[in-house]
Chain A
Amino acid sequence: MLKKSNLQKAMMRASINRAFHALSRSLDGPLMIAFAVLAAISLIVVFSASGALTFDRALGQARNFGVALIVMWIIANIPPQTLMRFAIPVYLVGLGLLISVALFGEVRNGARRWLSLGFATVQPSEMMKIGMPLLLAWYFHRKEEGLNIKDYAIAAVILIVPTLLVMRQPDLGTAILIFSAGFFVIFFAGLSWKLLITGGVIGLASLPFLWNFMHDYQRDRILTLLDPSNDPLGAGYHIIQSTIAIGSGGVLGKGWQHGSQAQLDFIPERSTDFILAVFGEEFGLVGVLLLFALYLIIIGRGLMIAINAPTTFSRLLAGAVTLSFFTYAFVNIGMVTGILPVVGVPLPLMSYGGTAILSMCISFGMLMSISTHKQLVST
């Protein structure tokens, strides 16, 4: 009897283990740990940033993470070869929607970014953040023979058209993110250093011309970055208040729910784009360094996965997705600390908002898919 029940227990434990293994087989350990810690921090900070009076926002954010986790698991279970098949459809649908937005899009806050589908409004530029690296990785994967100028020219067209469409909405932040995601693929595919450097120089030289094409509010943001006191109640207000919040946090921070800048509503967009100001104020330099460490773990792990990836497609996709993650983090942190202009980019896996977390988790899912499916491909 005793033996039997022990055996049953052991069998049960084994089957639970097997089930857990089956579920987690497709997930990547280091990424999951970093993801879980970030999600926990995000919930804590979102609660504080929403005035610490109601759980509505924190619960909403928990739901965002829950949904995103499921999507991430599903994508992680799709082998990279299958992901590759999505490349063309996702890109083309995204492009089509972007064109539709330009033609019949809804205008909100002076920007034409949303498309009404009757039952819901979508922001097709979000889709392009995924579609762009997918398509370019697929494109370069096909060209396994040496690459020539013509290939790069075609890649450039694939890259530039959606970027310009998003820029015209106007949404400079998203345009930069879409462009960089695609650019990272081309970079990893082997764009020659000579071309890179000349391109960089031409880019810098063309800045004054770019200035002419900018919208007034975009110019304002850049001018404000150079001198926030220029416009203390307008665009400069964001930067002034967020730097005050972070600076006043000091090394150890003012404590959870004790940031005066955050709790008294001096930080605009405090649970979304400027959540780092709340975090920096309440948790100080120690908290910020922990956050940076988590980001570096994710980026390092992403690059490892890319290096170990078996196919060109998965290598390029993993590399681009990882660098995109870095770009998100860098642009947001730079903006909140006042070294980059204010562009609407959320802090990855921290800012409140379902769409941003979802698209981030799709990237994570793809990274995990690449990481866990390499044996299958290599044999």
Chain B
Amino acid sequence: MAGEAADVPASARSVGPLRECIEMLGTTIKNREAELNMFRTRALVAGLAILLAFAVLVGRMVYLQILKRDYYHTLAEANRISVVPVVPNRGLILDRNNEVLAANTSAYTLEVTPSRIKNLDAVLDDLSNVIEIQPRDRRRFKRLLEESKNFESLPIRTRLTEEEVARFAVNRFRFPGFDVRARLFRNYPQGEIASHAIGYIGRINVADVKRIEANGLTANYKGTEHMGKQGVESSYESELHGSTGSEQVEIDAGGRAIRSLAKSAPTAGNNLRLTLDIKLQKIAEQAFDGRRGSLVAIEPSTGEILALVSKPGFDPNLFVDGIDPQNWDLLNTSLDKPLLNRALRGAYPPGSTIKPFLALGALESGKRTPQQSISDPGYFQLPGVAHRWNDDKVGGHGSVDMYKSIVASCDTYYYQLASETDIDKTAEFMRSLGFGTKTGIDIDGELEGVLPSRQWKENRFAKSASDVRKWYLGDSISTGIGQGYNAFTPMQLAHATATIANDGVPTRPHLVRSITDVSTGKIKSTAAAINASPPASLAIKPENIAVIKAAMAGVPKEGTSARAFINTGYVSAGKTGTAQVFGLKRGEKYNEARVIERLRDHAWYIAYAPADKPTIALAVMVENGGKGAQAAAPIARAVMDFYLLGKLPDVKKIKPAESDDESID
């Protein structure tokens, strides 16, 4: 049949009439033939279409695998490899005797990536059945949330116990987006002690990021979540931070690290050894006994700061994981201003503590000789002016030379001196002692205070009428006893006192003694850096310094602070001060009990010891403490006793000065 079928069309093609004949013979054969031809044509068309389709697919493959291969290869590698920063350990902070002031502890935190959670509050409610989440934690978290980008991993609970970690692990599947991580935490074992000097670290915020970017440190801060915000932690950030390492890890589609491909280790931050003596610091803080104020103690020969107190303080540990709003409000709105570093940023009128410095200025300028005496009737009057500037002591001190003016703190002597001295000359000399300028301490935030002069008043009242801007003789006279426009920081007083103690040679006050490179163990002293820019040397005559030192030595011996310094085992020198408070600042809340307390005078005491070869110089200020001799001098006594003798004074042997004794100051 197959043979026949092949024959018939051949003959049909060759012989026309025969073909018609056969067509008539059987339509079946013709139909089959036509159908077969049609099928073959269609199979051919289909085959060609398929070849065309495969050509398209091959083209696509060539495009993807040859032409765009590098592009897709890069994408695949980017998918595969993730570079994870490895954050260095932060350097430790130690005191001068290697007591730990700031350390790192490892703890578990529960973290959450907010962008992965739809209804955060509901999930947190659910989570609190597994792990305790207090309202405090929630508030703190809310605050963090506002400050951060929502794809960051933020801690909701820190310092989880092992049991809590285990409980979360069991329930983990219920909380996608939550993770337990082991983290290093900054820990301040001393709590409130020396909080203003040490400072604290906190989470990096938007402003920090900008600063980091501006300093070109973005790469080094990848993965770092905290940085120094205050004190040494902030000012020595570059030493403490260390350099960030990196690790290349292979990750899967879920972002989980599968294995480490390469690693460059981080370099831990340097350890800082401070000049602070934390035991002395503790004694000093206790001596304040809940009162507000500040103390700065300096080693005069080196400028090393032995104690830097600002009371009240705060617990720096609160800031580490982000402070909760309740504690923040408490610290921030308290009338006692615990966050204010009074030592560097509190400017107060110095009261009579200014007298030794003004006396030194008078000796240097030749305005006074040590022996030159005045007669003190109990007040000072300018010729032809009815107004009297009263002395503290009714009836006056009688005949007063320079020694007595300091020992008995005679106001009239200084009213008169101020009336004879041009304010600009006074300001120039005082500036050389560091008043009205930054002392150059190695932590940030120091204020310059106010050192009044004609130019200062002109600037201060620039918007007022010319008669307000003008400097009057009366202005000079009140500055003569440390009132008026004067306002200095305890740091400035301590620095100037240390300069006197060091025979007129100023040193740069500093808090960091040495820096240790943890990886090599090498210690680099900061002395070189500090000595690289010593304060301008003062050309003060040694005999003039000697006069002042002798007078200051007389103060605790037979002068205003004699009662506080009875029976010391060493010879000290000092000067009391009591500064008037003029009134409440605007914006402070009215509170009767408070107002009365806050209108009281600020108590001052500056001192150094031993008088012949001083190893410690200090300034104490008790805010609204009253008389310097009563409130401030005993604190100075306690600190110097502890530093020089290793014990505290016997309180019973020190009789408090009577409050109505006008001659005290």
- From B58, B68, B75, B254, A265 is in contact (CB under 8 Å) with B254
Cα of A307 to Cα of B252 in the assembled complex, Å = 50
Task: Knowing A190-B35, A264-B80, say if A243 contacts B42 (CB, 8 Å).
Answer: no
Q: Looking at the assembled complex, report how far the CB atom of B498 sits from the nearest CB atom of chain A, in whole angstroms.
A: 65
| Mask of B38-64 contacts with A, CB within 8 angstroms, 1/0 | 111011001100110110111011101
* Chain A residues within 8 Å of B1, by CB: 378
Asked whether A337 lies within 8 Å of B64 as measured between CB atoms, the reply is: yes
Asked whether A288 lies within 8 Å of B65 as measured between CB atoms, the reply is: yes
Asked whether B64 lies within 8 Å of A292 as measured between CB atoms, the reply is: no
| Mask of A118-154 contacts with B, CB within 8 angstroms, 1/0 | 0000000000000000000000000011100000000
Task: Knowing A247-B65, A292-B58, say if A303 contacts B47 (CB, 8 Å).
Answer: yes
Cα of A182 to Cα of B39 in the assembled complex, Å = 16
* Chain A residues within 8 Å of B66, by CB: 250-251, 285
- From A251, A300, A339, A378, B2 is in contact (CB under 8 Å) with A378
Closest Cβ neighbor of B38 among chain A residues: A190
Q: Which of B42, B50, B69, B253 has the most CB of A within 10 A?
A: B50
Task: Check A256 for interface membership: any CB of B closer than 8 A.
Answer: no
Closest Cβ neighbor of B65 among chain A residues: A285
Closest Cβ neighbor of B76 among chain A residues: A248
Task: Knowing A248-B73, A264-B80, A264-B258, say if A319 contacts B61 (CB, 8 Å).
Answer: no
Task: Check A315 for interface membership: any CB of B closer than 8 A.
Answer: yes
Asked whether A244 lies within 8 Å of B80 as measured between CB atoms, the reply is: no
Cα of A246 to Cα of B57 in the assembled complex, Å = 13
Question: Mostly helix, strand, loop or mixed at chain B's interface?
Answer: helix
- From A188, A243, A250, B73 is in contact (CB under 8 Å) with A250
Cα of A291 to Cα of B21 in the assembled complex, Å = 52
Question: Contacting chain B: which of A85-93, A103-111, A326-334, A349-357?
Answer: A326-334
Closest Cβ neighbor of B258 among chain A residues: A264
Q: Mark out the residues of chain B between 452 and 490 whose CB falls within 8 Å of any chain A CB in the assembled complex.
A: none
Asked whether A250 lies within 8 Å of B79 as measured between CB atoms, the reply is: no
* Chain A residues within 8 Å of B53, by CB: 326, 330
- From B35, B43, B71, A247 is in contact (CB under 8 Å) with B71
| Mask of A266-298 contacts with B, CB within 8 angstroms, 1/0 | 100000000000001100110011001001100
Q: Looking at the assembled complex, report how far the CB atom of A247 sits from the nearest CB atom of chain B, in whole angstroms.
A: 3
Cα of A247 to Cα of B64 in the assembled complex, Å = 4
Q: Mark out the residues of chain B between 617 and 633 whose CB falls within 8 Å of any chain A CB in the assembled complex.
A: none
Q: Mark out the residues of chain B between 560 and 591 whose CB falls within 8 Å of any chain A CB in the assembled complex.
A: none
* Chain B residues within 8 Å of A323, by CB: 46, 50
* Chain B residues within 8 Å of A145, by CB: 31
Asked whether B253 lies within 8 Å of A265 as measured between CB atoms, the reply is: yes
Cα of A378 to Cα of B39 in the assembled complex, Å = 18
| Mask of A296-327 contacts with B, CB within 8 angstroms, 1/0 | 10011001001100001001000100010010
Cα of A339 to Cα of B63 in the assembled complex, Å = 12
Asked whether A264 lies within 8 Å of B79 as measured between CB atoms, the reply is: yes
Asked whether A243 lies within 8 Å of B72 as measured between CB atoms, the reply is: yes
Asked whether A303 lies within 8 Å of B61 as measured between CB atoms, the reply is: no
Task: Check A80 for interface membership: any CB of B closer than 8 A.
Answer: no
Q: Which of B56, B65, B77 has the most CB of A within 10 A?
A: B65
* Chain A residues within 8 Å of B61, by CB: 246, 280, 285, 288-289, 337
Asked whether A188 lies within 8 Å of B72 as measured between CB atoms, the reply is: no
Task: Knowing A188-B42, A337-B61, say if A247 contacts B69 (CB, 8 Å).
Answer: yes
* Chain A residues within 8 Å of B40, by CB: 307
Closest Cβ neighbor of B58 among chain A residues: A292
Considering only CB atoms and an 8 Å cut-off, how many residues of chain B contact the other chain?
40
* Chain B residues within 8 Å of A334, by CB: 57
Q: Looking at the assembled complex, report how far the CB atom of A225 sits from the nearest CB atom of chain B, in whole angstroms.
A: 13
Cα of A337 to Cα of B50 in the assembled complex, Å = 17
Task: Check B250 for interface membership: any CB of A closer than 8 A.
Answer: yes
Task: Check B283 for interface membership: any CB of A closer than 8 A.
Answer: no
Cα of A250 to Cα of B46 in the assembled complex, Å = 31
Q: Looking at the assembled complex, report how far the CB atom of B641 sits from the nearest CB atom of chain A, in whole angstroms.
A: 70
Asked whether A280 lies within 8 Å of B65 as measured between CB atoms, the reply is: yes
Task: Check A42 for interface membership: any CB of B closer than 8 A.
Answer: no
Cα of A284 to Cα of B64 in the assembled complex, Å = 10
| Mask of B59-97 contacts with A, CB within 8 angstroms, 1/0 | 011101110110111011101100000000000000000
Cα of A260 to Cα of B250 in the assembled complex, Å = 9
Task: Check B339 for interface membership: any CB of A closer than 8 A.
Answer: no
- From A144, A248, A292, A339, B31 is in contact (CB under 8 Å) with A144
Cα of A285 to Cα of B31 in the assembled complex, Å = 47
* Chain B residues within 8 Å of A241, by CB: 79, 253
Asked whether B35 lies within 8 Å of A265 as measured between CB atoms, the reply is: no
Task: Knowing A244-B76, A260-B80, A312-B35, say if A266 contacts B253 (CB, 8 Å).
Answer: yes
Task: Check B251 for interface membership: any CB of A closer than 8 A.
Answer: yes
Cα of A203 to Cα of B53 in the assembled complex, Å = 20
Q: Looking at the assembled complex, report how far the CB atom of B42 sits from the nearest CB atom of chain A, in whole angstroms.
A: 6
Cα of A230 to Cα of B650 in the assembled complex, Å = 81
* Chain A residues within 8 Å of B39, by CB: 188, 306-307, 315, 319
Q: Which residues of A contact B (CB under 8 A)?
A: 144-146, 184, 187-188, 190, 241, 243-251, 260-261, 264-266, 280-281, 284-285, 288-289, 292, 295-296, 299-300, 303, 306-307, 312, 315, 319, 323, 326, 330, 333-334, 337, 339, 378
Enumerate 10 A-B pairs (CB-CB under 8 Å) in ascending A order.
A188-B42, A245-B72, A247-B69, A264-B252, A264-B253, A264-B258, A285-B65, A292-B54, A292-B57, A303-B43
With A244-B76, A303-B43, A307-B39 given, name 11 new contacts (CB 8 A): A187-B42, A244-B79, A245-B72, A246-B65, A247-B76, A292-B54, A292-B58, A333-B57, A337-B64, A339-B60, A378-B2
What 5 A-B pairs are tightest by C-beta distance, nearest first?
A247-B72, A248-B76, A247-B64, A260-B80, A264-B252
Q: Which residues of B contact A (CB under 8 A)?
A: 1-2, 31, 35, 38-40, 42-43, 46-47, 50-51, 53-54, 56-58, 60-62, 64-66, 68-69, 71-73, 75-77, 79-80, 250-254, 258
